[in-house]
Amino acid sequence: MTGVNTRVGAAAVAAALLLAGCGDSGGDAADGAGSGTVRVVTSALAASVDPMAELSASYLRSVGAAEGLMRIQADGSVAPELAEKVEATSPTVWTARLRPDVTFWKGGAVNAAAVVASMERARAENTLAAGLLKDVTVAASDERTVTFTTKEPAYSLPYALAHYQLVVHNAASYPAGSSGTDLATADLTGPYRITGFESDRQMVLERNDRWWGGTPGLAKVAVRKVADPQARAQIALSGQAEIVQDLPTDRAKELAAAPDMSLVAKPAANTVTVYLNPSSAAAPALADQRVRRALAWGVDRQEVVNLATNGLSVPAPSWLASNPAFPDAANQGYTRFDKATAERLLDEAGWTLGADGKRAKSGKPLTVRLLTFGAEAATGEVLQAQWGRLGIDVQVRNVESSLINQSIETGDWDAVTQAWTTLGDTPKLIAAQIGPDGAANHGRYTDARIPGLLAQAAGAADEAQRTAAVYELNKLVAELAPSIPVHPRVLATGIADTVTGFVAHPLQYENIVQPKMTLG
């Protein structure tokens, strides 16, 4: 009997050993501790080394493995990167003069022909890139000059050229129909070149000695994806990586107090916004602009920031407030918490407070169903409490983004949280919020002033006029209240004290590995 048990046990152990696939002897390229390697932990990683594959270019750029003609700076301005200079020679023609002697990782020249080929491949292979290059003709004028010709005046083209989806790559190196996970095909520019890659798991990069900007500060970078936010926090706290991105805000105090590291929190260039459906059958009150404005005035944004982000974000009184290129937007919209105004507007709209502390009109209670996504669940819960104090019954459900999109498509929604990017081609981004066909204008709000202002923001010859139109549109968004801005998302990064040169950036894909970083 004992013999049988022993045999069964031994067989089980043997089976486990056979199946194990465990080994300490190698293959863990992204560990790399103690050899001058900076270990980076991220919440997401490129699925492909082909920047034109879906959801890859931004991650490649974030680790210093891809560059564009232009780059957006931390202050929101745009500056040349692979281009030496980009200038408008007429309202519809832009010329980009390339830096001399720039090469791809494999040594090919980054000349005008290569840039044109890169742009055309981007246009053909990637929907986002095609959108950025819509109505733009790209041509090589000489060895180092690329000309961009637009149908209409396009003053914000430099921002499009700074977009991560237009990173310059060697189009000839990516064969048609390849999966994009074959490292041998990768040929880009940037301070670091990829030398090890496992799709969606880990990536190893080494210093690119051919980089045009001099010698990059780090010899080697090992990037690993860790999906669980608490595990990322633990990695930062135990010093198992030098850079840990996307840390959970609920552990902010612990992380800020940890020795040998700093918690760098930067409000992102996107605004967590509650979009409202004026056509909702379940919440007809939202059709009334006074109710929507009351909801906006009734948000104590500082309290939301304190409770939902542990104080790491900042209040966003208007949608554009998270865009550092438009600093005055922080003075527009709902710049204070004004409960009295909120109550007055609700009273004027006929939603009166009952003895039970709830507001109702013609016997129907004022209720709103709020769908949130991801980390915005905490924001939703604080809003629920704050609007509850106004007498509004808010039901919050945290769901996956596809359910939010489906609810919007079917029209069965009252309120949803989303956070669209605010920094980039601002006229187009704000048109998406409030334009007649805007992708984020979920409630299809209209106003006679909008088309003219959008045209001015995109096409006025004078920059001051364009800027004024953007601010006016932002003010109009606050006034119409199709949505309620709350706060920017937070980019919380753990940086070991041994790393120097990290500059916090409001764009996530510019916020991890930077060329001037060094390991002390």
Partner 1 sequence: MAVVFARGGVTAAGLLLVASVLVFALVRAAPGDAVDVEFGESGASALLTPEEEAAARARRAEELGLNRSVPEQYVRWLDRVVRLDLGTSYRTGRPVADELVERLPASAALGGAGFLVALAGAWGVGLLSARRPGGLADHLLRLLSLAATAVPTFLLGSLALRYAADWFGYPVAGEATWRRLWLPAVVLGVGAMPLLARLLRASLISEHGQPYALAAMARGASPARVTFRHVMRPAFTPLLTLAGLTLSSLVAGTVITEVIFSWPGVSGYAVAAIAAKDYPVVQAYLLLVVVVVVLVNRAVDVLQHALDPRVEQRAEATE
The piece of 209-217, 312-320, 351-359, 435-443 that touches partner 1 (CB under 8 A) is: 435-443
H-run or E-run covering 7: helix 2-19
- Which of 307, 403, 460, 504 binds partner 1 (CB under 8 A)? It is 403
- Which of 6, 7, 12, 113 binds partner 1 (CB under 8 A)? It is 12
DSSP letter string, 368-394: EEEEE-TTHHHHHHHHHHHHHTTT-EE
Helical spans, DSSP H, in 21-137: 57-62, 112-125, 127-132
Binding mask 30-69 for partner 1 (x = CB under 8 A): xx---------x-----xx----xxx--------------
Angle at the Cα of 164 (from 162 to 168), degrees rounded to 5?
80
* Site size with partner 1, rule: CB under 8 A: 65
| Whole-angstrom distance, CA of residue 14 vs CA of residue 420 | 53
Asked whether the CA dihedral 23, 27, 28, 34 is positive or negative, the reply is positive
184 part of the interface to partner 1, by CB under 8 A? no
179 part of the interface to partner 1, by CB under 8 A? yes
- Which of 13, 79, 113, 183 binds partner 1 (CB under 8 A)? It is 13
Residues of this chain, 268-327, that bind partner 1 according to CB under 8 A: none
Q: Give whole-number Cα distances, 233 to 144, 229, 238, 339, in Å.
A: 46, 6, 9, 37
Residues of this chain, 205-234, that bind partner 1 according to CB under 8 A: 224, 226-228, 230-231, 234
Binding mask 238-267 for partner 1 (x = CB under 8 A): x-x---------------------------
Give the up-direction half-sphere exposure of residue 469: CA atoms within 13 A in the CB hemisphere. 23
Q: How far is the CB of 237 from partner 1 (least distance, A)?
A: 7
The piece of 84-92, 194-202, 379-387, 505-513 that touches partner 1 (CB under 8 A) is: 194-202
Cβ(133)–Cβ(122) below 8 Å: yes
Q: How far is the CB of 313 from partner 1 (least distance, A)?
A: 21
Minimum CB distance to partner 1 smaller for 231 or for 282: 231
Cβ(487)–Cβ(313) below 8 Å: yes
The set of residues, in sequence order, having a beta carbon less than 8 Å from that of 38 and lying 6+ positions away, is 218, 220, 221, 222, 242, 243, 499, 513, 517, 519
Name the site residues for partner 1 (rule: CB under 8 A). Answer: 1-2, 4-5, 12-13, 15-16, 19-24, 27-28, 30-31, 41, 47-48, 53-55, 127-128, 130-132, 134, 165, 178-181, 199-201, 224, 226-228, 230-231, 234-235, 237-238, 240, 400-403, 405-406, 420-421, 425, 428-429, 432, 437-440
